[in-house]
Structure 1
Amino acid sequence: MIDVDEAQARLIAAAPHLPSETVPLAEAAGRVVTVDVVSMRTQPPFASSAMDGYAVRTADMPGPVRVVGESAAGRRYPRPLGHGEAVRIFTGAPVPEGADAILIQEDAARDGDALTATDTVKPNDHIRALGLDFAAGDTLVAAGTVLAPRHIALAGAGGHAELTVARRPRVAFLATGDELVPPGSPTGPDQIVASITPALAATVRAAGADPIDLGIAPDDRAEIARRCAAGIAEADILVTLGGASVGDHDLVKPALSDLGIEPDFWKVAVRPGKPLMFSSRPLVLGLPGNPVSGAVCAVLFLVPLVKAMQGVTAPLPEVREGILGRDLPANGPRRDHMRAVRSGSTITPASRQDSSMLAVLAASDVLLVRQPHEGPVPAGSPCRYIAL
């Protein structure tokens, strides 16, 4: 059994980088850019006015000076500004050559074409300099960035109509067990709903992957092997759900062995989720069948693997600092991830932590992280958590 840090490191080290593809700017949100996005232009491409008012020469202030024309966004004043002249100007419009400040309209008195300043105006007042935002050749978005709408806006302003991003990983999910039925199906007296598959599909979709549902395999070694082989052929990652422990009906590991697949590691010192299995060739991640265990292990292991395949710079979940909301007893030998609620900086774990309790998970918004063999901790102590 290996610890969480080693398991995560080995997963990320084994992740192959997927090929790149080009997508339209409007479709790039949530994708991972694989090459630096370098500006093709300077922004702003000219000195522009930050306010409505008048373009003036400070040497001529406080005036009076003569208003000789207008500069608007998309339509500049065509001549240099001469001695004793001013130009009416609007926000975003090019500043005429020769002008060195904007006299805002609140500080201006105008009588016909005669203009006088009613307050002090200094050089460069209210002028956005050429290249204030960025210049041609600047790196706007670094490779490995997950593209958010703000990155899309910046790339577009830099002249890009398309971006080069990683192909979406294909992640196939195979649930196993005679006791499982799909959501919405009638259940027999000894059956439960396989609700974790759609939840994990949503999880990897949010991480940039395309999920594939292989359905539910019965507790039949040959059938599990057949379904696993189909998933491996179709997807970049096969994720099995359940059947990876040591019971008589835990058949995933022997079924994979029938396909010539042996795990790089099996069992991780994590709670919930100890019976976790991973093969790097081909990529197979065996998650626990308990729904909460599977969901927690997806946050810790599956999402980092999916992100690493896309070239994300920091694929591991961010561990943040908080203040513990209630007393906790000593922890056991595995790193624990308690379902908890955050209020401001206070992290309060739920009183019930059974790995089958989806209602507790749904009511939680963070995982409180406790190290192996951590002693009792009183309320008010510093703690560490992962946001859900």
Structure 2
Amino acid sequence: MGMAWFGRKKEAPLEVEEVEVAPSLPEPPPLNEAGLRSMQDHVDYLLGLVEPLNPFGMGLLEAWDQVLCEDLESLVDVPAHTTALVDGYAVRAADLVDEDNQRVESMQLFDGEGRIPVGAIKHVTVGEKLPPGATAVLPSTFIALEGELARVFETVTDGEYVRSAGEHLSAGEPLMRVGEVVGARHIGLLAGAGIDKVFVRPKPRVVVVGSGEGLVEPGRPVDADQTIDANSFLIAAAARAAGARVFHIVVGSNNHAELAQHVTDQLIRADLVISTTGGRREDYEAMVQTMSGIGLVDSAQVAMTPGRTQTFGLIGEDNIPMIMLPGNPVSAYVSFQAFGWPLIRKLAGADPQRKLHRGIARTGFRSLEGQTHLLRGIVTNESGINRVAQVSRQHALSELAEANVLIVLDEQTAQVRAGESVYYWKLDED
């Protein structure tokens, strides 16, 4: 009979109750002393929550304006064969001189097929393929025909008056690199190089949602308690300019159930959702609460002017990214340029970092240290110098329509004097 080790009885293992951890977004970046998140930290945080779309093969025409995901080389020589550059006679250049390197007096005309015989020439026209054995073309003015013979007045050397095979492109020659955007002229180049399909990332599908109680689309009758929706049209156009394939809806309500239904219905065709309102605070809060009910949400006060209040979420079963922009049209547009534009670029596999351009301030600008100010501006080129001025209009949409840049005053800048350097983003920049 066996004995238990040291006479102890085996104890049943304790059952550990598994605690289900609620899903959440990654830890957000730290706040500054004023309790605000820096604009760059917010950009980096959002970019860290999305990945580029998966690439796939497309025909050349469908691939226009999309980001390439492979290096491309020519599949063929262009031209494929050595051809005549002028009307004349195909010749083996070495046959035009004798053993003493003197020009021969005449050559035999050849009108047959196949390799050109030694001491013979064959008539060719511009663009015609040279017969085997020929190394050059004698222009018609270099000879005089005398029956079956051609009297030679001038000689040529190998390669003269011909377009060699692969002269324009040789098989294996690099054409485009990963990350380049396929343009119309690229498509011509690729087609000529024998390429019919390319591996690209598709344009990001962006659904722009305008929402709010009493919000109506342009062109419809407007009652006293209603507002024409300009913001979502503005953002939809800006998203298209950023390279997105845009879908646009307007929901004239701030009811949570209605908003949730409309937004979730759009997720099947969305890689990114961008929402804005007609400007009422309760409409903004209604959409934020709706986002919280269908996904994970990050709301932040960002150290920027305009557009301090920013909300982002991953919504639905597939965690589709969604941005809730402020309701003021200038704040909405500036926020899109600061955060929506980089997200669209990241999804497309393009560089999401905005390029800072430098100009000379036409007038002075004031800012508050600790915040990034994005001012509407206009840049004009005067004698090769980019002059930057602020645009200021009472009507916000008129101001945006006139601007062609956003002037960027970073957190360390309190003042820029006239004549000093100032930096800006170009609007609708490729």
TM bin (shorter chain): 0.7 to 0.9
**8 A Cα contact 1:261 1:282, kept in partner:** no
| Paired letter, 2:276 | L
Q: 2:302 aligns with which of 242, 265, 268?
A: 268
Confirm or deny: 8 A CA contact 1:330 1:373 kept in the other structure: no
The residue aligned with 1:73 is none
CA distance in 2, matches of 1:297, 1:81: 75
Q: Does 1:26 align with 2:61?
A: yes
Residues 304-363 of structure 1 show CA distances to partners (whole Å, capped at 9, x for unaligned) of: 322322322x23333333x32512223222242433133354233244067x62222222
**Alpha-carbon distance between aligned partners in 2 of 1:103 and 1:6, rounded to the nearest angstrom:** 70
Task: Give yes or no for contact 1:38–1:138 (8 Å, CA) kept in 2.
Answer: yes
Closer/same/farther in 2, CA of residues 169 and 351 from structure 1, 3 Å limit: closer
Q: 1:49 to 1:367 in 2, by over 3 A?
A: farther
Give TM-score scaled by structure 2 length.
0.73
- The percentage of aligned residue pairs carrying the same residue is 26
Q: Which runs of 5 or more residues in structure 2 are unaligned?
A: 1-35, 98-102
Q: Is the 8 A contact 2:270 2:320 kept in 1?
A: no
Deviation at 1:122, TM superposition (A): 5.8
Equivalences for 1:113-128 in 2 at 5 Å?
Answer: 113-117=150-154, 124-125=159-160, 127-128=162-163
The aligned length equals 373
Residue in 1 that maps onto 2:386 = 346
Alpha-carbon distance in 1 for matches of 2:84, 2:242: 41
Q: How does 1:176-215 map to 2 (within 5 A)?
A: 176-178=211-213, 180-215=215-250
- How far, CA to CA, are the matches of 2:355 and 2:67 in structure 1? 18
- For 2:389, give the aligned amino acid: P
Partners of 1:25 and 1:50 in 2: CA distance:
31
Deviation per residue, 1:90-132 (Å, 9 max, x gap): 1x44445555555667xx4553454534xx9665445444333
CA RMSD of aligned residues (A): 3.5
> Alignment partner for residue 331 of structure 1, among 364, 367, 376?
367
Greater C-alpha Rg: 2
The correspondence for 2:50, drawn from 6, 9, 15, is 15
C-alpha separation between the residues in 1 aligned to 2:248 and 2:38?
30
Paired letter, 1:197? S
Look up the SS of the partner of 2:352 in the other structure: coil
Structure 1 Cα separation of the partners of residues 378 and 113 of structure 2: 61
Q: 3-state DSSP class of the match of 1:276?
A: strand
The SS at the match of 1:200 is: helix
**Aligned pair 1:286/2:321, yes or no?**
no
Change (3 A) 1:17 1:143: same
Aligned-pair CA distance for 1:148: 0.4
Amino acid at match of 1:329: F
Rate the CA distance shift 1:77–1:317 in 2: closer, same or farther, 3 A: farther
d(CA) in 1 for partners of 2:108, 2:311: 77
Per-residue deviation, residues 232-284 of structure 1 (Å, max 9, x unmatched)? 45422121113899x45531222222334221x52333333222322244311
How does the TM-score come out when normalised to structure 1?
A: 0.79
Distance in structure 2 (CA, Å) of the matches to 1:54 and 1:3: 74
Check the 8 A contact 2:259/2:290 in 1, yes or no: yes
Match of 2:23 in 1: none
